[in-house]
């Protein structure tokens, strides 16, 4: 077989970020053993990546940036490698046949730092007294070798050893905690398929507490000084979870954890089964409750259902924005209808140069994409009626649970449930730059999910 046919590509083929991610294999599991020294920002790691070859491989690559590689093994045997910028190129001692499972073990270390890019610094970041990991969209290689593409989802085991006064919170369920003389090892297990950008570690002087003891279990890690205002600001977390489950279906994970850092953050951050807020998002007045709803909604839209590539980012942000609006209407805040009209009026005053179904890499996180995504869902709700709309959302969540999704799939599902073509509707809302006219409200009041009377409603903004 020719070398070209057997080689793993060091590009993902993503239309927006092709240099991130790799071809030739699909990952199944990451086993990460990390030792972190907070005082010196020193990370020592061993990552074992289990993958399956999609074609014969004489070489393969992983994403890893800013850290020094010390050894690479493939199926237990030493492998030749080179590390150039953010790509670790590996030559297995024996070619890997198509369809075969194989393991790559990487021993590495150094002083991790966030990766600079068009979205600022992302990835592993030192706080004043601890660590924050915020990797969307391409920051995961700042702290572990991975196939850094949203469509490549795997399970994880994450073991982190740090100084005992600090709490380590990682994505997944805490499976073990071993205390030594001066350090503690924290072991988390994450069985649900997860893309690398949604894997996170938070280290700080936190108090761990239960937010809500129902199903799912909801936990929190909060600085002691913020515990009282946090209790008020997140006091409706259990009710919020119940409301969103009525709209979208069962919460897709076994636990949900909220972390509040002792530093300020520009925006909250979602991770798998976790949301991270800054100290500035806690004021004892529920000022930022819409953001609490937004980040919780990402557990359905973005985390369980992950975009197949970054063109489809509105499926994350538009849905989470609409969830804000739904929570506002259900909890006694401004109704969805009012929020929709407010944002429609604002968008009509802004430049009409954004197509949210394919926004371009520089506008993936444009606020207009968030709001117009929410408006698109509200307009769809008016177009097809409450019953069809909410059946569509719940089917979307159930049929693609822990999978990857595209806009075309959502359009096909909406047409199936509406029992008619919706091409012109979606063309206008997703692929035409001018914002369509906001549909008139229904005259009747439909019975919403859970028996609560509700009109066609809309959200707030991130």
| Exposure on the CB side of residue 102, measured as CA atoms within 13 A | 29
Q: Could you tell me if 397 and 418 are in contact, meaning their C-beta atoms sit under 8 angstroms apart?
A: no
In sequence order, the 6+-apart residues with CB closer than 8 A to the CB of 97 are 53, 56
Single out the catalytic residue among 295, 324, 337, 383: 295
CB 143 within 8 Å of CB 41: no
What stretches of 333-441 show up as alpha helix (H) in DSSP? 336-347, 367-384, 386-399, 407-418, 423-426
399 is catalytic: no
Angle in degrees, 0-180, between the axes of helices 407-418 and 314-330, rounded to the nearest 10:
50
Contact 300, 244 (CB under 8 A): yes
Contacts of 34 (CB under 8 A, 6+ apart): 43, 44, 45, 143, 144, 158, 159, 160, 161, 201
Please, what's the b/e burial string for 326-354 (b: 16 or more CB within 10 A of its CB; e: otherwise)?
A: bbbbbeebbbbbbbbbbbbeebeeeeeeb
Report H helices in 28-133: none
Q: Give the span between the Cα atoms of 420 and 401, in whole angstroms.
A: 25
- Is 370 annotated as catalytic? yes
DSSP bridge partners of 7:
59
Catalytic residue among 81, 156, 251, 370: 370
| Residue 225 preceded by cis peptide, ω within 30 | no
**Which residues are documented as binding site?**
294, 298, 317
Q: Which residues contact 416 (CB under 8 A, 6 or more apart)?
A: none
Strand pairing report for 173-179 and 207-212: unpaired
- Binding residues for Zn(2+), by number, are 294, 298, 317
Measured from the Cβ of residue 94, the count of other Cβ atoms closer than 10 Å reads 11
| Helix, strand, coil percentages, rounded to 5, for the chain | 30, 35, 40
Rounded Cα gap, residues 198 and 270, in angstroms: 7
Catalytically active residues, by annotation: 295, 370
């Amino acid at each position: 077989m020719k070398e070209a046919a057997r080689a793993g590509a060091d590009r993902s083929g993503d239309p927006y970020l092709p240099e991130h991610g790799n071809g030739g294999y699909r990952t199944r599991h990451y086993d990460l053993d990390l030792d972190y020294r907070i005082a010196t920002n020193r990370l020592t790691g061993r990552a074992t990546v289990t993958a399956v070859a999609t074609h014969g491989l004489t070489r393969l690559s992983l994403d890893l940036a800013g850290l020094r590689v010390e050894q690479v093994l493939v199926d237990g045997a030493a492998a030749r490698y080179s590390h150039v910028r953010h790509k670790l190129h590996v030559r297995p001692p024996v070619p890997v046949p198509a369809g075969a499972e194989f393991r790559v073990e990487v021993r590495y270390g150094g002083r991790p730092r966030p990766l600079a890019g068009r979205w600022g610094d992302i990835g592993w970041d030192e706080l004043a007294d601890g660590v924050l990991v915020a990797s969307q969209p391409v920051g995961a290689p700042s702290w572990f070798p991975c196939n850094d593409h949203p469509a490549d989802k795997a399970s994880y085991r994450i073991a982190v050893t740090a100084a005992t006064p600090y709490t380590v919170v990682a994505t997944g369920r805490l499976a073990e905690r071993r205390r030594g003389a001066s350090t503690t090892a924290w072991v988390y297990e994450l069985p649900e398929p997860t893309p690398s950008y949604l894997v996170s570690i938070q280290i700080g002087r936190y108090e761990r507490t239960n937010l809500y003891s129902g199903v799912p279990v909801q936990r929190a890690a909060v600085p002691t000084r913020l515990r009282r205002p946090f209790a008020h600001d997140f006091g409706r977390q259990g009710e919020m979870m119940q409301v969103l489950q009525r709209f979208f279906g069962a919460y897709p994970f076994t636990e949900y954890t909220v972390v509040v850092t002792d530093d300020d953050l520009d925006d909250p951050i979602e991770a798998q089964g976790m949301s991270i807020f800054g100290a500035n998002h806690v004021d004892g007045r529920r000022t930022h409750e819409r953001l609490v709803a937004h980040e919780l909604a990402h557990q359905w839209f973005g985390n369980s259902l992950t975009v197949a590539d970054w063109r489809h980012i509105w499926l994350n942000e538009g849905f989470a924005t609409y969830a804000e609006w739904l929570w506002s209407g259900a909890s006694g805040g401004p109704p969805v209808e009012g929020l929709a009209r407010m944002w429609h009026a604002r968008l009509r005053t802004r430049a009409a140069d954004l197509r949210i179904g394919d926004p371009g890499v520089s506008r993936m996180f444009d606020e207009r994409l968030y709001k117009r995504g929410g408006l698109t869902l509200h307009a769809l709700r008016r177009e097809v009626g409450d019953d069809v709309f909410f059946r569509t959302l719940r089917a979307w969540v159930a049929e693609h649970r822990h999978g990857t999704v595209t806009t075309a799939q959502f359009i096909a599902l909406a047409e199936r449930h509406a029992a008619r073509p919706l091409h012109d509707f979606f063309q206008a809302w997703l692929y035409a730059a001018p914002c369509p006219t906001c549909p008139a409200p229904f005259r009747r009041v439909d019975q919403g999910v859970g028996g609560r009377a509700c009109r066609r409603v809309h959200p707030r903004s991130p």
